C-alpha cells in the first residue's frame, strides 16, 4: 500500500545523453583541481560566468574558481542549507542571491576555521589569490558578492571589470552607438590584463590569447550547431541535460577540453537523430524553458516532465552563445577587441529582429524564434525568488508574448452555429522556487502544477484546428 | 447514465486520506442506495487524489473545476477557486482549462487565513460574510503573513475597532491577494467563484469589487471539483462506448486500510 511505498529513496536523476552524464565527474575533478592548484602555488581567482574574461584568465594560467558553480553543486547535493544559515547569521538577508549567500557562508566558515569546513562538497572552494567581479548590467551581486567576501578575506584584492552594452531602445540603432561601447569594454579588459600581470608577475602572451580566443569562437559556433540539432523530432536532448552541458560552455570556454566535449556531444546527437532516439519514447509535448535559472536541487523535475511525455528541446537559460559568424564582427587581429565585439554582438543579437515586429522586444523575439524553430507546444518559466536580475521580466515577457504572438489555430463555434478559426497563444506555466534555497520548494505543489499544465497542453492539442 | 447528482458527501480531509476515501465512498453509496459495483467509472481529484486507491483515473483540480463550472455555467470564461489551502485562477474554453495560476506558497491567500483570524476573533467562518457586508469602513490590515495578521487583528480589536470592520478588512486583504494573482491570467465574463471561499458573501463581494467584474457562485461550491471529475469520467466512458474500446478500471472493493 502507499504508506509503505511512500518511504522511497530519492529517485536518481537521469540524463538522455552520455555527454551530459559525464559532467558530474568533470566538475568534481575541476573543483578538486582548484584546491590542488592552490596547494601547488598556482594563482587561483574567484570568477563569475559570462564575464568576457574566460580566455584572458586561461592565457595567464590563472585557475578560476567558479563560485556560482560551487553554489550550484551545494544546491544539487542538497547541502547548501548550512552555508545559507551561516551567511544569515552574518546578517545577510535570506532574500539575497542564494549563490552569493551559499558562497559567503562557505567563505566565512573556511576563514574562521583556517581550513575547509567539515565534509565540504567535493573538497570545497579554494581560497583565492584575487577575485574578479564584473559590473555588467545584468547582475548586481557580481559587483557586491566579492566585496562582501572581502570582509572575511581582507588581503584578497578585487578587480571589477565593467561590461556595459546598449539597452534596447526603439529609436536607437546599435550601429550608431557601438563604437563607444567597444572602446569602453576594450579599456576595461586591458585594465584586467594589467591587473592580472601585476598579480601573477607574468606578461600576457598575446599570441596565446589570440589562439584561445580563436578556439573560443570555434567553440561558440560548434555549440550553436550542436544545440541546433535538438530541433529534430523526437528531440535527442532536453534542458535537463543542458543544465549539465552548460558546464564546458560557461566554465571551460577557451579550453580544448570544452571544444572536444561538444565534438562528442554533436556526434552523439547526430547518432541519436539517425536512430530516431528521443529523450522519451513517446514524445507528446515539446516545451520551451523560456527563462529562469533552474532549481539545482530539483533537476529531477525534468524527468517528471519526461514521464508525462513532455520534453524540452530548447531553453534560454545558460545558452550563452550565438553563432559568431552572425555577430557582424569587424576584421581585427586584436584578441581583446574580438572579445569585446563578441560580447556586444551576443547581448544585442536579437535587437534588429525585435524592431521588425510591433510590440516585440529582444527576449520576446528570442522566445518566438525558438518556438518556431523547435516546434514548441508550451512554455515553462521558473521564478527563482532570490535572483531578481534574471527573473524580474519573465512574467512581462509572457504577457507580451501572449499579446503579440498567437500561433495556435483552434476551431470555435460562433453564435451563428458555424465553426470559425481563431488564433490562440501558447499555454504557459510558471514554477516558483529558488536556485539554491530548497526551503522554497515543494515537490508536491510543483508536480501538481506540472500535472495541471500537462492536462492543459493535452486539451490544446485536442482542440488544434490543423493537426501537426 | 442519468444527469444529476444522486448523492454527495462533504467533510474535512484530515491526515488519514486513504481511510477517509473509503469512508466517504461508503457514505455516498449508502446515501445513494447503490452497491459499489454500480459505479461505472471513478475519477479522483484534489491534492489527495493519489490516495484514492480505487480511483480509475486521477485528474488535477484545474481540469475538474473547469469542467464542473462549465457544466453549471456554460458561458463562464474565468474560474476562481478559493480553497482552504490554496487559491487558483483558471481561464476556460469549451469546458477545458486554457491557462491557470495558483497560489500554493502563502496561506494569506487561502481559506486558512480566514479560519485562523475567525478563531482569533471568536467567531465562526459562516458568520464572517454577513458581518463584513455590514461594515462601512473596512479596517486596513497591514501584515501579509497570516500569523502576524492575526496578531494585528487582535490588537486592533482591543483598541476598539468594530468587529465588522475588522472582518471586512480581513476579507479585503484576502480578496486583494487573490485578485492580484488572478489578474495574471486574462479575466473575462462570466466569472465564477467556487470553493469554500464562494460561500462567503463578503469575500465574493470584495473579490468582485477588486476585479471589477460581476461574479457568479454555484449552488454548492464545495463539490464543483467533484462534479467536474464525475463529468470527465462520464466523457471517458461515453468515448469508450462510442469507439467500442475497453475501459481500464480498478477493482471495485473497499478494503480495510491499516495505517502504520
* Residues B193-246 pLDDT 10s: 999 999 999 999 999 999 999 999 999 999 999 999 999 999 999 999 999 988
CATH for A280-318+350-468, among 1.10.3470, 3.40.720, 3.30.2420, 3.40.50?
3.40.50
CATH for B74-217, among 1.10.40.50, 3.30.420.40, 3.20.20.100, 3.40.30.10?
3.30.420.40
Q: What is the mean pLDDT of residues B106-134?
A: 89
Q: What is the pLDDT of residue B72?
A: 94
- Pick out chain A residues at pLDDT < 70: 1-10, 137-138, 465-468
To test the contact with chain B by mutation, choose from A397, A452, A458 the residue with the greatest count of B C-beta atoms within 10 A, namely: A452
Band of the pLDDT at B256, cuts 50, 70, 90? low
Q: Which residue ranges make up each domain of chain A?
A: 280-318+350-468
DSSP for A319-366? -----GGGS-------HHHHHHHHHHHHHTTTHHHHHTSTT--HHHHH
Two domains, one topology: B1-61+223-260 and B74-217: yes
Q: Report the distance separating Cα A14 and Cα A21, nearest Å.
A: 8
Q: Which of B93, B97, B102 sits opposite A455 (nearest CB)?
A: B97
* Residues B135-187 pLDDT 10s: 999 998 877 788 888 888 888 899 999 999 999 999 998 998 899 889 888 89
> In this structure, which topology does domain B1-61+223-260 adopt according to CATH?
Nucleotidyltransferase; domain 5 (3.30.420)
Q: Report the distance separating Cα A176 and Cα A153, nearest Å.
A: 43
Q: What is the pLDDT of residue A9?
A: 55
Interchain CB distance below 8 Å, A432 and B105: yes
Q: What is the pLDDT of residue B16?
A: 78
Q: Is this prediction's pTM over 0.95?
A: no
Q: What is the pLDDT of residue A439?
A: 84
Interchain CB distance below 8 Å, B104 and A3: no
- Asked if residue B55 lies in contact with residue B17, where contact means CB atoms within 8 angstroms, the answer is no
Interchain CB distance below 8 Å, B18 and A395: no
Q: Report the distance separating Cα A164 and Cα A134, nearest Å.
A: 10
* Residues B34-85 pLDDT 10s: 999 999 999 999 988 988 889 999 999 999 999 999 999 999 999 999 998 8
Evaluate if residue B260 carries a pLDDT over 80.
Answer: no
Closest residue of chain A to B95, computed from CA coordinates: A459
Closest residue of chain A to B255, computed from CA coordinates: A1
Interchain CB distance below 8 Å, B96 and A463: yes
Cα-to-chain-centroid distance, residue B135: 26
Helix or strand (DSSP H, E) at B55: none
Q: What is the pLDDT of residue A241?
A: 97
Residues of B in contact with A395 (CB under 8 A): 184
Q: Which residue ranges make up each domain of chain B?
A: 1-61+223-260, 74-217
Q: How far is A1 from chain B (nearest CA, A)?
A: 9
Distances (CA, A) of A402 to A378, A423, B77, B184, B248: 12, 11, 17, 12, 38
Q: What is the pLDDT of residue B30?
A: 92
Residues of B with CB under 8 A from a CB of A: 18, 47, 50-51, 53, 59-63, 93-94, 96-102, 104-105, 184, 186, 257-260
Closest residue of chain B to A432, computed from CA coordinates: B105
The candidate with the shortest Cα–Cα distance to A3, out of B86, B16, B123, is B16
Q: What is the pLDDT of residue A417?
A: 81
More confident residue, B105 or A347: A347
Residues of B in contact with A427 (CB under 8 A): 98-99
Amino acid at each position: 500500500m502507499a504508506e509503505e511505498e511512500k518511504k522511497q529513496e530519492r529517485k536518481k536523476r537521469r540524463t538522455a545523453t552520455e555527454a551530459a552524464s559525464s559532467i558530474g565527474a568533470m566538475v568534481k575533478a575541476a573543483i578538486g583541481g582548484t584546491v590542488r592548484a592552490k596547494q601547488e602555488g598556482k594563482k587561483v581567482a574567484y570568477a563569475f560566468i559570462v564575464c568576457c574574461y574566460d580566455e584572458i584568465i586561461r592565457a595567464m594560467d590563472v585557475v578560476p574558481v567558479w563560485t556560482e558553480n560551487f553554489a550550484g553543486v551545494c544546491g544539487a547535493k542538497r547541502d547548501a542549507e548550512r552555508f545559507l544559515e551561516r551567511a544569515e547569521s552574518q546578517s545577510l538577508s535570506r532574500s539575497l542571491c542564494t549563490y552569493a549567500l551559499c558562497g559567503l557562508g562557505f567563505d566565512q566558515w573556511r576563514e574562521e576555521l583556517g581550513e575547509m569546513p567539515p565534509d565540504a562538497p567535493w573538497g570545497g572552494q579554494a581560497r583565492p589569490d584575487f577575485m574578479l567581479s564584473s559590473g555588467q548590467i545584468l547582475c548586481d551581486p557580481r559587483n557586491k558578492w566579492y566585496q562582501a567576501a572581502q570582509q572575511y578575506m581582507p588581503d584578497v584584492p578585487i578587480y571589477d571589470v565593467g561590461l556595459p552594452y546598449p539597452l534596447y531602445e526603439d529609436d536607437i540603432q546599435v550601429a550608431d552607438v557601438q563604437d563607444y561601447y567597444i572602446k569602453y569594454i576594450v579599456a576595461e579588459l586591458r585594465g584586467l590584463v594589467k591587473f592580472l600581470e601585476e598579480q601573477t608577475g607574468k606578461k600576457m602572451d598575446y599570441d596565446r590569447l589570440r589562439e584561445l580566443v580563436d578556439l573560443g569562437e570555434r567553440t561558440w559556433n560548434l555549440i550553436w550547431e550542436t544545440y541546433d540539432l535538438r530541433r529534430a523530432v523526437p528531440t535527442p536532448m532536453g534542458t535537463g541535460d543542458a543544465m549539465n552541458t552548460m558546464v564546458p560552455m560557461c566554465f571551460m570556454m577557451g579550453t580544448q577540453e570544452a571544444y572536444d566535449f561538444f565534438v562528442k556531444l554533436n556526434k552523439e546527437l547526430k547518432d541519436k537523430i539517425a536512430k530516431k532516439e528521443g529523450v522519451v519514447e513517446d514524445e507528446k509535448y515539446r516545451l520551451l524553458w523560456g527563462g529562469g535559472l533552474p532549481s539545482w536541487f530539483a533537476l529531477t523535475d525534468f524527468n517528471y516532465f519526461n514521464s508525462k511525455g513532455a520534453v524540452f528541446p530548447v531553453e534560454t537559460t545558460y545558452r550563452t552563445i550565438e553563432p559568431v559568424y552572425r555577430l557582424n564582427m569587424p576584421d581585427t587581429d586584436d584578441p581583446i577587441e574580438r572579445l569585446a565585439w563578441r560580447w556586444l554582438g551576443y547581448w544585442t543579437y536579437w535587437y534588429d529582429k525585435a524592431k521588425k515586429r510591433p510590440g516585440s522586444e529582444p527576449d520576446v523575439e528570442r522566445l518566438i524564434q525558438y518556438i518556431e524553430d523547435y516546434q514548441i507546444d508550451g512554455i515553462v518559466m521558473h521564478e527563482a525568488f532570490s535572483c531578481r536580475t534574471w527573473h524580474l521580466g519573465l512574467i512581462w515577457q509572457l504577457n507580451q508574448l501572449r499579446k503579440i504572438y498567437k500561433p495556435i489555430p483552434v476551431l470555435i463555434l460562433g453564435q451563428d452555429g458555424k465553426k470559425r478559426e481563431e488564433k490562440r497563444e501558447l499555454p504557459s506555466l510558471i514554477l516558483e522556487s529558488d536556485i539554491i534555497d530548497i526551503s522554497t520548494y515543494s515537490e508536491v505543489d510543483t508536480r501538481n502544477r506540472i500535472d495541471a499544465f500537462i492536462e492543459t497542453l493535452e486539451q490544446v492539442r485536442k482542440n488544434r484546428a490543423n493537426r501537426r | 447514465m442519468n444527469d444529476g447528482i444522486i448523492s454527495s458527501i462533504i467533510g474535512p480531509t484530515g491526515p488519514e486520506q486513504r481511510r477517509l476515501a473509503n469512508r466517504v465512498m461508503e457514505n455516498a453509496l449508502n446515501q445513494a442506495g447503490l452497491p459499489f459495483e454500480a459505479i461505472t467509472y471513478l475519477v479522483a481529484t484534489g491534492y489527495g487524489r493519489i490516495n484514492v486507491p480505487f480511483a480509475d483515473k486521477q485528474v488535477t483540480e484545474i481540469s475538474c473545476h473547469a469542467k464542473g463550472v462549465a457544466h453549471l455555467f456554460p458561458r463562464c470564461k474565468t474560474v476562481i477557486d478559493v480553497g482552504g489551502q490554496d487559491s487558483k485562477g483558471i481561464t476556460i474554453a469549451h469546458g477545458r482549462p486554457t491557462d491557470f495560476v495558483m497560489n500554493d506558497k502563502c496561506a494569506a491567500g487561502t481559506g486558512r487565513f480566514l479560519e485562523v483570524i475567525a478563531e482569533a476573533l471568536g467567531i465562526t467562518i459562516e458568520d464572517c460574510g454577513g458581518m463584513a457586508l455590514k461594515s462601512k469602513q473596512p479596517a486596513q490590515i497591514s501584515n501579509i503573513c497570516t500569523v502576524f495578521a492575526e496578531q494585528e487583528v487582535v490588537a486592533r480589536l482591543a483598541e476598539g475597532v468594530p468587529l465588522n470592520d475588522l472582518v471586512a478588512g480581513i476579507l479585503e486583504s484576502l480578496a486583494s491577494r487573490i485578485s492580484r494573482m488572478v489578474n495574471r491570467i486574462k479575466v473575462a465574463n462570466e466569472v465564477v467563484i467556487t470553493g469554500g471561499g464562494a460561500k462567503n458573501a463578503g469575500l465574493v463581494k470584495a473579490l468582485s469589487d477588486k476585479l471589477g467584474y460581476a461574479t457568479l457562485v454555484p449552488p454548492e461550491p464545495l463539490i464543483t471539483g467533484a462534479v467536474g471529475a464525475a463529468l470527465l469520467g462520464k466523457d471517458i466512458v461515453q468515448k469508450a462506448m462510442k469507439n467500442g474500446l475497453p475501459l481500464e478500471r480498478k477493482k471495485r472493493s473497499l478494503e480495510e486500510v491499516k495505517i502504520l
